[in-house]
Amino acid sequence: MAETDTQREAVLTAVERVTDRIAEEKGHLTDLDSAIGDADHGANLDRGFGKALAAVEDSEDDPAEIVKTVGVTLVSAVGGASGPLYGGSIMTASQELEGGITADSSVAFAEAYLKKVKDRGGARIGDKTMVDALTPAVHTYKKSIEEDELSPVTALSKAVDAAERGVRFTTPIRANKGRASYLGWRSVGHPDPGATSTLYIMEELLAVASEYCEGDVETDAEADQSPEETPGEGAE
């Protein structure tokens, strides 16, 4: 199979796995959002990824184009502020993958995604948002690849760990951004739903990356593609 075909297959598998996982966690995400938001996070993401999967299933496009289509579909199908945050950021970051998915381009994707989420949403670390999971994950991924020269799968695995710690970090802090911020101190004690869904998405990307990079051999296609989607989808 040509490299592009493998990458396409891996991207499509990732979209499928993420969609399934969000569907499984829909109720849980909604519960989390009921505590500190408006109880629609699970349903909105589930609807969004369902439509995104339908939009790219059986696609013959380049991997970057598929990722972009996922972003564009999420923008409209998720709606509200989450649409631009999750989908718009994937849409913008997908440009980094146009030359193919490599370790380097996956880092560029992750960074572009994080930047867009922060620029658009205006949240910083400690505001109790998806940024709290995404920032350490992207930084860890970049350092693992560029400085520690780890394989993309190992790097992604470390990024998932970092995101998990980021989610735990959101629990005891007070929200400063998004709807939860209107609860003030009452937002303390609940994990952030956006950070949580970000983690779920990254976990699925890691699983797919591992499958496609069996033995952790550094074949660009597999490793990269998971990070690309990871930051993107997780980012709300």
Partner 1 sequence: MVRVDMKKLINEPGAVVDEMLDGMVAAYPEALARLDGTNVLVRADAPVEGKVGIVSGGGSGHEPTHAGYIGDGMLDGAAAGEVFTSPTADQLGEMIQACDAGEGVLCVVKNYEGDVMNFETGIELAEMESDVEVTYVVVDDDVAVEDSLYTSGRRGVCGTIFVHKAAGAKAAQGGDLAEVERVAQKVVDRVGTMGMALTSCTTPEKGEPTFDLPEDEIELGIGIHGEPGIERTEVMDADSVTEHLTERVLEDLELDAGARVATIVNGMGGTPQMELFVVNRRLQEILGERDIETWDAWVGDYMTSLDMAGCSITLLELDDELEELLSHPVETPALTVRDD
Site mask for partner 1 (CB under 8 A), range 156-195, x = bound = -----------------------x--x-------------
Taking the CB of residue 159, how many other CB atoms lie within 10 A of it?
31
Does 81 participate in binding partner 1 (rule CB under 8 A)? yes
Pick between residue 92 and residue 198 the one whose CB is nearest to partner 1: 92
Does 122 participate in binding partner 1 (rule CB under 8 A)? yes
Does 129 participate in binding partner 1 (rule CB under 8 A)? no
Report residue 61 CA to chain centroid gap: 21
SS3 content of the chain, % helix, strand, coil (to 5): 80, 0, 20
Q: What is the 3-state secondary structure (H, E, C) of 174-227?
A: CCCCCHHHHHHHHHCCCCCHHHHHHHHHHHHHHHHHHHHCHHHCCCHHHHHHHH
Name the minimum Å distance from CB 73 to partner 1: 9
Pick between residue 59 and residue 171 the one whose CB is nearest to partner 1: 59
Pick between residue 27 and residue 122 the one whose CB is nearest to partner 1: 122
Name the minimum Å distance from CB 8 to partner 1: 21
Pick between residue 93 and residue 108 the one whose CB is nearest to partner 1: 93
Name the minimum Å distance from CB 21 to partner 1: 24
Does 79 participate in binding partner 1 (rule CB under 8 A)? yes
Name the minimum Å distance from CB 58 to partner 1: 22
> Under 8 Å CB-to-CB from 69, ≥6 apart: which residues?
52, 55, 56, 59, 61
Name the minimum Å distance from CB 184 to partner 1: 12
Q: Is the dihedral of CA 23, 197, 189, 34 positive or negative?
A: negative
> Under 8 Å CB-to-CB from 24, ≥6 apart: which residues?
none
> Which of 37, 42, 63, 88 touches partner 1 (CB under 8 A)?
88
Does 115 participate in binding partner 1 (rule CB under 8 A)? no
Residue owning tokens 């184009």: 65
- CA dist 230 to 32, 159, 173, 200, 206, Å? 21, 10, 24, 9, 8
Name the minimum Å distance from CB 111 to partner 1: 18
Does 231 participate in binding partner 1 (rule CB under 8 A)? no
- The per-residue b/e assignment along 103-120, b for 16 or more CB within 10 angstroms, e otherwise, is bebbbbbbbbbbebbbee
Pick between residue 21 and residue 35 the one whose CB is nearest to partner 1: 35
Binding site for partner 1 (CB under 8 A): 72, 75-76, 79-81, 83-85, 87-88, 91-92, 120-122, 179, 182
